[in-house]
Amino acid sequence: MKLENSFILAPGIGEKTEQKLWKNNVTHWDKVSQANVIGSSRRETLEGFLKKARKNLQVGNSYFFGDKLPNKSLWRAYRNFEENACFFDIETTGLDKSRNKVTTIAFHRNGETRTLVRGQNLTRENIQREISNSSMLVTFNGKKFDQPFLEHSFDLNIDTPHLDLMYPCKRIGLSGGLKKIEKRIGIDRDLEDVDGREAVRLWKKYENKNDEDALDKLVEYNGYDARNLQELAEIVHQRLESRFYRPHIKR
């Protein structure tokens, strides 16, 4: 499912109306002229909005769609912007953003993973560059943890469309932490002995004893968190599409 199959981003179109359109074979923006199930005035308004939406999609303006889509439906924009989506995850010395610090951040985009390390290349400018070069941010519990932590610690204002997979996971019955969900749906990961607490210990070993092996293990662990988000996003998108879109279209 892509943005072009969605109508709820338009003013005055709710889920019930959208489903009615789908059931009457209006499953793409190009078919709106055939939408006899809504009034002519409403259809003209919808066509006017979609003209603007097409222009924004053509130039890759993900911000436009981030503002228009309801939060729970942002997953629909993933296919349109997945090529330049940034899967990221942070490691910290604790859970309190006012007292603790960010140690590493892994950014995974276009098949490559880059990790920023405190005291080396973890700077406000480098974080801002990674975010600015992304059409969409993808995290797990990032809206409550990663994003606020970064904004507080580095004086950032992050407004890039942000798909937090924790919420769509819950919509398809996948609850719990990231690693629990990964095991449940068959996503493999090395370093199963490392968790958030161990990540803190690894950082302390590096910081206090200059243990490069500990840092390497932490960076590898952080990288897995970011990379596995892409596989999770694929699975979540497929299941959401099967549940919320496919049942309403003719076959």
Q: Domain of 121: which CATH number?
A: 3.30.420.10
Q: Which residue range(s) make up the domain with 132?
A: 82-238
Same-domain check for residues 114 and 192: yes
Q: What is the pTM of this model?
A: 0.95
Residue 66 belongs to some domain of the structure? no
pLDDT (0 to 100) of residue 17 = 95
Residue 128 belongs to some domain of the structure? yes
Contacts of 144 (CB under 8 A, 6+ apart): 164
Same-domain check for residues 183 and 144: yes
Q: Higher model confidence: residue 53 or residue 250?
A: 53
Q: Minimal CA–CA distance to 34: which of 26, 22, 42, 44?
A: 26
Same-domain check for residues 107 and 219: yes
Each residue of 180-235: pLDDT tens digit?
999 999 988 776 667 888 999 999 999 999 999 999 999 999 999 999 999 999 99
How far is 151 from 154, CA to CA, in rounded Å? 6
Q: How many residues does the chain have?
A: 251
Same-domain check for residues 92 and 190: yes
Residue 249 belongs to some domain of the structure? no
Helical axes 178-185 vs 212-244, angle rounded to 10°: 60
Same-domain check for residues 25 and 110: no
Same-domain check for residues 86 and 167: yes
Residue 67 belongs to some domain of the structure? no
Q: What is the mean pLDDT of residues 4-12?
A: 95
Q: What is the mean pLDDT of residues 148-154?
A: 98
Report the number of distinct structural domains present in the chain: 2
The partner residues of 91 in beta bridges, in order of sequence, read: 104
How far is 180 from 186, CA to CA, in rounded Å? 10
Q: Which two tokens stand for residue 92?
A: 């910290």
**Contact by Cβ (8 Å): 230, 110:** no
pLDDT (0 to 100) of residue 193 = 67
pLDDT (0 to 100) of residue 46 = 96
Evaluate if residue 35 carries a pLDDT over 90. no
Each residue of 36-80: pLDDT tens digit?
889 999 999 999 999 999 999 999 999 999 999 999 999 999 999
Evaluate if residue 107 carries a pLDDT over 90. yes
The partner residues of 87 in beta bridges, in order of sequence, read: 108, 138
Residue 246 belongs to some domain of the structure? no
pLDDT (0 to 100) of residue 100 = 97
55 CB burial (10 A radius; 0-12, 13-18, 19+)? exposed
pLDDT (0 to 100) of residue 189 = 75
Evaluate if residue 250 carries a pLDDT over 90. no
Same-domain check for residues 122 and 208: yes
Same-domain check for residues 139 and 231: yes
pLDDT (0 to 100) of residue 196 = 84
Q: What is the mean pLDDT of residues 160-179?
A: 96
Same-domain check for residues 139 and 189: yes
How far is 219 from 162, CA to CA, in rounded Å? 23
